[in-house]
Homo-oligomer: A and B are copies of this chain.
Amino acid sequence: MDTVILESPADKKQKGTKTKFVFSFHEGDGKNKQLLGGKGANLCEMTQIGLNVPPGFVISTDACLTYLDTNNKQLPAGLIEEVKDHIKHVEVASRKKFGDPTNPLLVSVRSGSAMSMPGMMDTILNLGLNSKTLKGLIQQTGNERFGYDAYRRFIQLFGKVALGVPDEKFDKHFEEVKKRAGVKVDVGLNTEDLMEISERFLGVVKEYTGKPFPEDVFEQLEIAIKAVFNSWMGKRAIDYRREFKITPEMANGTAVNVVTMVFGNMGNDCATGVGFTRDPGTGENVMFGEYLTNAQGEDVVAGIRTPKPVVQLADEMPDLYKQLEELRNKLEAHYKEVQDFEYTIEKGVLYCLQTRNGKMNTTALVRTSIEMEKEGLITRDQALLRVKPEMLEQLLHPRLDSNHNVEPLAKGLPASPGAASGHVVFDADRAELLGHTGEKLILVREETKPEDIHGFFASQGILTSRGGKTSHAAVVARGMGKPCVAGAEGIEVDVKLRQAKIGDKVLHEGDYITIDGGTGNVYQGIIPTVEPVFSEELKILLSWADEKATLKVYANADTPDGAEKASSFGAMGIGLCRTERMFNGTDRLPIVIEMILADTNEDRQVALDRLELIQRQDFKEIFLAMAPRPVTVRLLDPPIHEFLPNEDVLRDEIEHLMHLKTTISGVNNLFSSLRLLNADVSIAEKSSAPFNGKGEELIEQAIEKKQKMLKKVHELHEVNPMLGHRGVRLGITLSQIYKMQIKAILEAAADCQLAKADVRPEIMVPQVVKTEELIEVKKFVNEIQAEIEADKKIKLNFKFGTMMEAVRACLEASELASVAQFFSFGTNDLTQATFSFSREDAENKFLPYYINNGILKDNPFEVLDVKGVGKLMKMAVEGGRQTNPDLKIGICGEHGGHPESIMFCHKIGLNYVSCSSLRVPIARLAVAHAKLGESNYSSN
């Protein structure tokens, strides 16, 4: 099942392909990569825009296909004649002569297909060398050692690549000579050594091929061309194309590039160098690079001489520096991109050998984008498109100083980006306690649960030994913008002993560690971090993005602080404010538990009334922070058992209390006995205050309370909590909670409105599957709204809508839109339901296998599954808009911050995406990209 199928040249012929096979760099079509290969087309383009490229020509891929189609591997008729013609032109241009013993023209021969296929075939350098032209080369360079070095290299490379002689045949002799000469590195060999090696290599070729090494330079060239053509159907190339799924439509056949060799080592008027048209580290608009005079490129690599910064060339060769400046301007003017180029100066002539778009870090990319737009080189759209949204990630988190040389202690999954150092702490309560003293902490847990939330607040970063990139720890940390390394399986946490084992190392509470959430590495001790900078250029770029985009970017934020942060990152609203996060504060959780344990509705209401006042204040602050932008508040979503302690913990606590009780009563009995013996026990009693009736009573009460909790935990236990009694199901059956939350939201809105603040709350119902559910909650809203409006004599301004996170909601979208004023896709849950994958279980058990074995291309919890989940979303958008064309639709799952997923959201016509604050800049750029890419995708 080979995917590589050659198009028959006969077919091509019928299509009327012209029979010209060879193109000089002046005549080749710089855009026709199919015909000339990428490299060939590039050389043509460089030549034609006026860069001084060493003279040369390209033999087309058509020639290759025609050659491969012949049974006896004959070069197409006329090809050699064409090649010879072009060699003549090259001789004229280079003022050298192919095969000439005094002024020899040497060329490089290399393959090049339409797609880059690194390593498919080696380049042959210095073709045209033979025993006679060698003398010419030595004469030209005045460097005999260089001449023989070039010669022995050419014999080996040609022997191997063009004649098929195995490398080890040559290596054997090379090693023998090196040994005899007593040198360890190649550069230690002197001219005589290299002469001997050249002789031996000629002998190897003769022995292996049965023929002497070809002295005729045209014979060399013909053999080399055939070798390049044959390499297209070599095993290495076929495997490569299969591996990377390169079809004939993408690349068919290889071209051959024949280019004049130029030498930077022919004297002090020669040099070789590499350069960037701007500084790739900072983006500053200055030429950047290094060079060496009288040297070849490989001298830089060998490290014998230290290259000089390019500015020195201005002193050393002022005229050439000026030419280099011109080259730089030509390159940017033509390519509209920072270029990474290679050049050689041969006898005072500057040749440009290669150029390509320069790789830069994000800082430089952003700066050059802004500056190139200001210089008129590129448009704003182009400036926006130059920066891939994901690249902004680097700019938004503290990262480790790149100069550290510390080996990681352990490795986990990079679950939330950024780096942080702090004292190890093993539980959330402890973290909160230590956090108050201002300590920097890293919370280390086997895995985290909602009740650990205060520990997150108190810590600089989170490290878990279980769970994936979408585990609770990862999701919450990302939401808070704190670094997290998850699932570092090598770490064994022992909470009771307050220590963790990593192999034979032991981390104790208080030890310093550093985590890197961008790589997943965990280090012992403190490694300095670099703080992120939100540069002026980035701000400009994002403002351009905002102008361009149609999709709005909201943030997910649950607290007043979070809202401020979202705002500072440019969020245009809050798309998801999770009310349950507010329940987990240490001042709230006890009230929540009281509410859950309440025996009567009245008791429950007392607790809820207290919670209402707290939530109302939260909402007020969040609404005001965002005014006049919308704040979408999701009513309680998780099942209430998530607020109760874990069953095992409760059991342990009860056991411990029981034990304590026994001890106390034992001591009390002892005192009684002593008293019977008329002993004076008053001092002992005083010094053991807890050991009296009162203490026993308190312990009994504590036991009773814990047992009640345990009973409730059992009562509320669910087999599949993900699909259990939660969201609107809970909201309807235990309606007091939703009523409290709705009241808190609307009272907060009323307070703000009365204070003339233009707040825009939006009430969102989670887990909806039936329109009737939404109608039921709408009834609560209507009642409470009417009460408040009558009471305060105002008209409340808010929206009512639904999460779209259950499959059935998507299927019933048109009905839901008759009640909901907005939809918000919760793609985390929707993905779970669509795949029947429990995220937590999947990421621990089978998802890695699925991705590694190609059953899934991506983790669907990271990259939106367009084919499945996306289909449901599209149905829902169509259904909803059918009923209400103005329906506001957004997404608040984690995918809302993922550029590829944002592209899809744009495509299906959403109004906004909502993501964690830290991803807001990325999303802002991505929504602009989506808009700019509109023409690149069909609507299906």
Tell me whether A845 and B724 are in contact (CB under 8 A).
Answer: yes
In the complex, chain B residues whose CB is within 8 Å of the CB of A724: 838, 841-842, 845
Binary B-proximity of A825-863 (CB < 8 A = 1, otherwise 0): 000010011111110111001100110011110000000
CA distance A840 to B725 in the complex (A): 11
Instruction: Name the residue on B nearest A855 (C-beta).
Output: B772
Q: How far does the alpha carbon of A834 sit from the alpha carbon of B832 in the complex, in Å?
A: 11
Contact B725 A723 (CB under 8 A): no
- A846 surroundings in chain B (CB, below 8 A): 725, 729-730, 732-733
Which of chain B's residues have a CB closer than 8 A to the CB of A812?
867-868
A877 to chain B, nearest CB (A): 15
Contact with B along A729-759 (1 / 0, CB 8 A): 1101100000000000000000000000000
Q: A769-B868, A849-B732 in contact; A835/B856 too (CB < 8 A)?
A: no
Inter-subunit contact B836/A806 (CB<8 Å): yes
Chain B hits for A829, CB < 8 A: 836
CA A837 – CA B725 in complex, angstroms? 8
Taking CB atoms, residues of chain B closer than 8 Å to A805 are 836
A719 in contact with B836 given A770-B856, A846-B733, A867-B812 (CB within 8 Å): no
A318 at interface by CB-CB < 8 Å: no
- The answer to whether A719 and B719 touch across the interface, beta carbons within 8 angstroms, is no
A872's partner among B718, B721, B725, B811 (CB-CB below 8 A) is B811
Judge if A871 is at the interface, Cβ distance under 8 Å: yes
A719 CB contacts on chain B under 8 angstroms: 721-722, 838, 840-841
The reply on A808 being an interface residue by CB < 8 A is yes
Tell me which residues across on chain B come within 8 A of A729, comparing CB atoms.
842, 845-846, 850
Q: How many copies does the complex hold?
A: 2
A811 in contact with B867 given A769-B836, A806-B836, A836-B767 (CB within 8 Å): yes
Complex CA–CA separation, A805 to B867 (angstroms): 17
Separation of A448 and B842 alpha carbons in the complex (Å): 26
Q: How far apart sit A871 and B720, CA to CA, in the bound complex (Å)?
A: 25
Are A720 and B838 closer than 8 Å at their CB atoms?
A: yes
In-complex Cβ contact of A838 among B718, B767, B776, B872 (8 A)? B718
A807 at the interface (CB under 8 A from B): yes
Q: Which residues of B contact A767 (CB under 8 A)?
A: 836
A689 to chain B, nearest CB (A): 35
- CB 8 Å contact bits of A864-879 with B (1 = contact, 0 = none): 0101110110000000
Across the interface, do A871 and B811 meet the contact criterion of CB distance under 8 Å? yes
Counting CB contacts under 8 A, is A439 at the interface? no
A773 within 8 A of B: yes
- A865: chain B residues at CB < 8 Å are 808
| Chain A interface mostly | helix
Measured between beta carbons, the chain B residues less than 8 angstroms from A856 are: 770, 772
Contact mask A794-827 → B, CB, 8 Å, 1/0?
Answer: 0000000000011110011000000000000000
Q: How far is the CA of A16 from the CA of B805 in the complex (A)?
A: 55
Chain B residue nearest to A849 (CB atoms) is: B733
* Residues of B with C-beta under 8 A to A833: 807, 833-834, 836
Q: CA–CA, A881 to B729, complex, Å?
A: 37
Docked-complex contact A725 and B868, CB < 8 angstroms: no
Contact A722 B838 (CB under 8 A): yes
A867's closest neighbor in chain B, by CB?
B812
CB of A732 within 8 A of CB of B867, answer no
Contacts of A841 in B (CB 8 A): 718-721, 723-725
User: With a CB–CB cut-off of 8 A, which chain B residues contact A725?
Assistant: 841-842, 845-846
- Taken together as a complex, chains A and B put the C-alpha atoms of A28 and B460 apart, in Å, by 88
- Residue of chain B at shortest CB distance from A717: B841
Kindly state the separation between the CA atoms of A720 and B837 in the bound complex, as whole angstroms: 9
- Residues in B with CB closer than 8 Å to A840 are 719-720
A850 CA / B868 CA spacing, docked (Å): 29
What residue in chain B is nearest A869 (Cβ atoms)? Answer: B808
Shortest beta-carbon distance from A868 to chain B in Å = 4
| Contact, CB under 8 Å: B855 / A776 | yes
Q: Please state if A834 and B807 are interface contacts (CB–CB under 8 Å).
A: yes
Q: Which residues of B contact A837 (CB under 8 A)?
A: 723, 769
Shortest Cβ gap from A765 to chain B (Å): 13
Complex CA gap A868/B770 in Å reads 9
Complex contact A772–B838 (CB within 8 A): no
Inter-chain CA distance A829–B767, complex, in Å, is 18
Distance between Cα atoms of A812 and B869 in the complex (Å): 11
* Complex: A772 Cα to B835 Cα, angstroms: 14
Q: Using an 8 Å CB-CB cutoff, how does the interface string of A756-783 with B read, 1 for contact, 0 for none?
A: 0000000000010110110010000000
CB contacts (< 8 Å) of A867 on chain B: these are 811-812
Q: Which of A868-905 contact B (CB under 8 A)?
A: 868-869, 871-872
Residue of B nearest to A872 (CB): B811
Q: A836 to B855, Cβ gap below 8 A?
A: no
Contacts of A835 in B (CB 8 A): 769, 806-808
Measured between C-beta atoms, what is the minimum distance from A447 to chain B in Å? 10
What is the CA–CA distance of A732 and B852 in the complex, to the nearest angstrom?
A: 13
- B807, B836, B838, B849: the one contacting A868 at CB < 8 Å is B807
- Cα A387 to Cα B774 in complex, Å, equals 40
Quick one: which of A619-667 are within 8 Å of B by CB? none
**In the complex, A431 Cα to B546 Cα: how many Å?**
71
Per-residue 0/1 for A702-724: is the Cβ within 8 Å of any B Cβ (1 yes, 0 no)? 00000000000000001111111
Interfacial chain B residues near A871, Cβ < 8 Å: 811
B718, B723, B772, B806: the one contacting A723 at CB < 8 Å is B723
Q: Which residues of B contact A733 (CB under 8 A)?
A: 845-846, 849
Minimum CB–CB distance for A830 against chain B, Å:
9
CB distance from A894 to the nearest CB of B (A): 18
Q: For the complex, give the distance between the alpha carbons of A834 and B772 in Å.
A: 16
Cβ-closest chain B residue relative to A719: B840
**Neighbouring B residues of A721 by C-beta, 8 Å:** 719-720, 838, 841
**What are 6 A-B interface contacts by the 8 Å CB criterion?**
A722-B723, A729-B842, A733-B845, A770-B855, A811-B872, A812-B867
Q: Rank and list the top 7 A-B pairs by shortest CB-CB distance, nearest first.
A: A723-B838, A720-B838, A724-B841, A808-B868, A725-B845, A806-B836, A720-B722
Other A-B pairs beyond A769-B835, A772-B854, 17, CB < 8 Å: A718-B845, A719-B838, A720-B840, A720-B841, A722-B838, A723-B842, A729-B845, A732-B849, A733-B849, A767-B836, A769-B868, A772-B856, A807-B833, A808-B834, A829-B836, A833-B833, A833-B834
